[in-house]
Amino acid sequence: MNDWIAGHSINAVLDGIIFLTALFSCVLLHEFGHVFAARRFGIRTHDVTLFPIGGLARLERIPEEPRKEFWIAIAGPAVNMAIAAMLFAGLFVFDGWQPISRMSIDSGSLFERMLFANLTLALFNLVPAFPLDGGRIFRAILAAHTNYSKATTIAATLGRSVAVALMVWGIFANPMLLLVGLFVWIGAGQEEYSARFRAALSGVRVRAAMVTDFQRLQARDTLAEAVRLILAGSQHDLPVVEHGRVVGILTRSRLLIGLAENGHDFLVEKVMDREFMTAHPSDMLNDISTELQKWNCHTVPVVSNGRLEGLLTMENIGEYFLIDTALQERSPGSGLLKGGLKGFWNSHGSSAILVIPPDKPLK
Ligand code: ZN
């Protein structure tokens, strides 16, 4: 570290810090482009995360039309294009003409490098491959002409091809590209899986996937009874019933805390969660699945007219998906309970990737 500092003047270090800060600000602004576009369609954002190689905005909900996905996806690169245009105009007015071909990420003034970085950010993210913004734009355009599953498969296949090309290129040119290629490869697979998952669940009601053979507790039962039921079966969370109505849920983590603090003679009603989410058998499976993920909840009691009819768990939703997929493979278009993979899916999040060449220290 001392050697490194000795080799660089304080100015160079400061310059590097300013450049990196400006670069990450541009990535953040890119993500906020998505956030504001999503908000225009009434979709809020959970959070924005900045990674060493880019950013990610997690949208609360899935846009329902390709037109919306198109605008949300294009808003990110559009921000970088706008920043680049402003920098270009500034450089042109105050500095005279500067051919873009002469610019690079590690030479020229701060503004020139930022111009180059923003152009790179915009163009790279516009590559039509999942999970890049360009992949979403491409899928949205395809989805207008074919169905969503097909559009997603094509965009994901292209994403994986781009990933392989990046990794091969990375071997010869820049090891950082290997990492970016890997990111694109994993991202494309996740997007495709997620799309298939949502398509399989689309149009399906909760009652089709809920557990109907399950154990329950009475509010006045002891924790010992809960332990017996959990050890005897494979249920993690137990609904608690009083006079036929669900009054709480005893999750495995609550049970463990209760046992550690009070022992097994303690009453269930003193440990259980009294505030919990419920579903109706006719609720849409996709909606409840999204809620489960959003609240990091594992089990939801399914209640109709006050009566406990079943439990919906993440595992059972996963099993429903696997069974539906198997039936689809046997005869495409059949599916588990409906006429095949219909419905649609759009982005959970969006990402910007930036590439900082590690073999060229900031000067
Ligand atoms: Zn983006």
Task: Say which residues have a Cβ less than 8 Å from residue 188's Cβ, sequence separation at least 6.
Answer: 129, 130, 131, 135, 156, 159, 160, 163
Domain that holds residue 236: 206-355
Residue 61 Cα to ligand 1 middle (Å)? 17
Between β-strands 238-242 and 217-218, what pairing exists: parallel, antiparallel or unpaired?
A: parallel
Q: Which two tokens stand for residue 330?
A: 């046997």
Radius of gyration of the chain (CA): 26
Please give the tally of structural domains in the chain. 2
CA of 37 to the centre of ligand 1 (A): 11
User: Has residue 3 got a pLDDT over 60?
Assistant: no
Q: How far is the CA of 73 from the centre of ligand 1 (A)?
A: 6
Instruction: Report, as an integer, the average pLDDT of 6-13.
Output: 71
CB atoms under 10 Å from CB of 342, counted, come to 14
215 and 311: one domain?
yes
For residue 351, the CA-to-ligand 1 centroid distance in Å is: 4
CA–centroid distance, 56 to ligand 1, in Å, is 7
Q: Indicate whether 160 belongs to any domain.
A: yes
Q: How far is 263 from 260, CA to CA, in rounded Å? A: 6
Going from the Cα of 358 to the center of ligand 1, the distance in angstroms, rounded, reads: 23
What is the H or E stretch that residue 171 is in?
helix 148-172
What's the 147 CA to ligand 1 centre distance in angstroms?
23
* pLDDT single digits (tens) 187-208: 888 888 888 888 888 888 998 8
Place of tokens 């965009």: 155
pLDDT, residue 53, reads: 66
Beta bridge partners of 248: 240
Give the Cα separation of 319 and 333 in Å (integer). 19
CATH assignment of the domain containing 315? 3.10.580.10
Instruction: State phi, psi for 9 to the nearest 5 degrees.
Output: -75, 160
Q: What is the pLDDT of residues 104-121, one digit of tens each?
A: 666 677 888 888 889 988
Predicted TM-score of the model (pTM): 0.67
Band of residue 361 on the pLDDT scale cut at 50, 70, 90: very low
Picking from 182, 201, 220, the residue at the C-terminal end of a domain is: 201
Q: How far is the CA of 43 from the centre of ligand 1 (A)?
A: 16
Vertex 180: Cα angle to 24 and 12 (nearest 5): 40
Cα–ligand 1 centroid distance for 265 (angstroms): 54
Å from CA of 59 to ligand 1 middle: 12
Q: What is the mean pLDDT of the chain?
A: 81
Q: Of the candidates 201, 216, 247, which is a domain's last residue?
A: 201
CA of 350 to the centre of ligand 1 (A): 5
The domain boundary residue, chosen from 140, 170, 201: 201
126: CA distance to ligand 1 center in Å? 9
- Provide the pLDDT for residue 229: 92
User: 105 or 44, which is more confident?
Assistant: 44
Rounded distance from Cα 352 to ligand 1 centre (Å):
4
Same domain, 217 and 329: yes
Paired with 205 in beta bridges are 284
For residue 28, the CA-to-ligand 1 centroid distance in Å is 10
The pLDDT value recorded for residue 323 is 87
- Same domain (yes/no): 189, 230: no
Per DSSP, 208 falls in state G
Strand partners, 57: 48, 350
For the ranges 42-46, 135-139, 339-343, the maximum mean pLDDT occurs at 135-139
Same-domain check for residues 26 and 105: yes
- Which residue would you say has higher pLDDT here, 163 or 334? 163
* % of the chain exceeding 90 in pLDDT: 25
The pLDDT, as a whole number, for residue 105 is 60
Instruction: Give domain status of residue 362, yes or no.
Output: no
User: Are both 112 and 126 inside the same structural domain?
Assistant: yes
150/284 same-domain check: no
Distance of CA 82 from the midpoint of ligand 1 (Å):
14
